[in-house]
Structure 1
Amino acid sequence: MTVQVVLVHGIRTSATMWRAQIAHLAERGIDAHALDLPGHGTRMGEDFTIDGAFETIDAAVREAARRGPVVLAAHSMGGLVSCEYVGAPEAPPVAAFVAASCTAVPRGPGLATYRALARRFDSLPDRGMRLTEMVLARTLPEETRDDFGAGGYAFDAQDIALRSLSVLDLTRALRRISVPTWFINGQFDQLRVNERLFRRLVPHAELIVVPRTSHLVTAMRPRVFNALLDLAIATVSPGADQPERTC
């Protein structure tokens, strides 16, 4: 049995955001599956629901677990949903967890402000695409610049998805995570707001803050993120020494 990697995208984007990681893992001979959540990518015509997101992640994880230990890696909204999934009362078959750009509790004024800004951005004549493309051109390396939008942008699912996040009980779920876990954030990531809380609730987790990097850490610093995936894979590879974890 060999290690399997399941990759969960963030809001508005799709499985294509993981192209650099898929290519890296393919070079190593590691099986990887980047999924599309409801309302995103190849599933743009569907409605986003939080239950549908959990079902999609669970189906991918359980299918991968038939072939080997699973490393689940997720970004932003996908990371928040995956935190709740990994910390479920009945632990899913996840051997290690890499959570990128998602150390924020989506509740209260913070979530309301984020939704208001997203709606304002979406109300622009081109739904903010000109500004989005300008920012990506200035911040992302050429090798990953087109990956976030290659599967299309899920504008219509954005507010529904953000609103759905309020039902997550992350403080309870995080306490139940016992597998090897890494939180990785860019230095200038807006979702670092509850970084200390996440570390306190998952005391065995490691926190990595990448200097001079934004929320899009997976694409802005793909080699750094790929190195972290390699570490997670090495940690759970058959025959590797497994540190004891406490719930």
Structure 2
Amino acid sequence: MHSLLRELSVVGMSTVTLGGITFGYDDLGSGDRVLVLVHGHPFDRTMWRPQVEHFAERGFRVIAADLRGYGETTVVPGKTLLSTFAKDIATLLDHRGVDRFALGGLSMGGQIVMECFRQFPERITGLLLADTTAEAETPDGRRNRAEMAARLLREGMRGYSEEVLWKMVADDKDAADHVLRMMLAAPPEGAAAALLGRAERPDYLDLLGEVEVPALVVVGTEDEYTPISDARLMHERLQDSTLVVVEGAAHMPNLERTEEFNRALHTFLDRIADRAER
């Protein structure tokens, strides 16, 4: 086993109970350059393992937590709003003694990142928005999410997971296997609560116009959930952003095209550092 993976399995992986919620998280690496990564639905923090490993080896402190209702973090049935996820992230980072950080998320995680910026912009040095959208949910979308939440509670995760896998990953078998494992492991109650809360998300487009820190927008060319047009719209609204389109990737470019994704993210993090030194 790779030495860092061994270290991560022994040292970096932790749980802590804060405010009645037990959080599972990875906190690896050290230094002042902190990167916080937020997973999407219906995944867990292991979706960021290639990034945690890569950047912790290169002088960054990287934190990735399981969101409420996923992975090792407490499941709270009902409805979990994006604002609740954002408060959870702030609570965990306070516990870890982290004040300032670059913040990234994919899909639902990207929407949580935007909500975090709405709640505590002064803590964030840069934003990574991967395969996500800033617009509020449509009436049809709200109805579809409510129906899917009811289905997950009724049937569990397998049928849904097998149906949507091809939309998550284009042509990488290892990535597809990882994504399927995460989806099958997701607690239906947690996934349903997130769906219902996400259906009520606000429109973040105006908020993006207020973002003064650097931003990186990433999208896969084959992403049907959040197409390139959504990424371009966010890129246009942001004051200081870079748009990276990952050829051949679907909804999970960090797993499907890891080297390209990591290279773009590293360039972006260096840009944040250069700006801070001015």
The normalised TM-score by structure 1 is 0.81
Contact 1:185–1:210 (CA under 8 A) maintained in structure 2 = yes
Matched, 1:198 2:237: no
Counterpart of 1:176? 210
Tell me the amino acid that sits aligned with residue 102 of structure 2. Answer: V
Tell me the amino acid that sits aligned with residue 88 of structure 2. Answer: T
1:196–1:232 Cα change, 3 Å? closer
Give 1:209 deviation, angstroms. 1.1
Contact 2:69–2:190 (CA under 8 A) maintained in structure 1 = yes
Give 1:218 deviation, angstroms. 1.4
Structure whose residues are more often strand by fraction: 2
Counterpart of 2:159? 127
Counterpart of 2:23? none
Mapped to 1, the partners of 2:50 and 2:194 lie a distance apart of: 25
Mapped to 2, the partners of 1:84 and 1:184 lie a distance apart of: 18
Q: SS of 2:35's equivalent?
A: strand
Contact 1:38–1:53 (CA under 8 A) maintained in structure 2 = yes
Which deviates the most, 121-130 or 38-47?
121-130
Mapped to 1, the partners of 2:189 and 2:127 lie a distance apart of: 29
From 220, 240, 244, the counterpart of 1:208: 244
Contact 1:8–1:15 (CA under 8 A) maintained in structure 2 = yes
Matched, 1:73 2:104: yes
Counterpart of 2:127? 97
Deviation sequence 1:160-185 (CA, Å, 0-9, x none): 32332223231232222111001101
Contact 1:64–1:70 (CA under 8 A) maintained in structure 2 = no
Matched, 1:160 2:190: no
Mapped to 2, the partners of 1:242 and 1:114 lie a distance apart of: 43
Identity among equivalent positions (%) equals 22
Give 1:132 deviation, angstroms. 5.7
Give 1:196 deviation, angstroms. 3.6
Give 1:26 deviation, angstroms. 2.4
Total equivalences in the alignment: 240
From 26, 32, 55, the counterpart of 1:2: 32
Give 1:82 deviation, angstroms. 0.8
Mapped to 2, the partners of 1:143 and 1:195 lie a distance apart of: 22
Counterpart of 2:257? 221
Mapped to 2, the partners of 1:163 and 1:76 lie a distance apart of: 15
Question: Where do 5+ consecutive residues of structure 1 fail to align?
Answer: none
1:196–1:26 Cα change, 3 Å? closer
Question: Where do 5+ consecutive residues of structure 2 fail to align?
Answer: 1-30
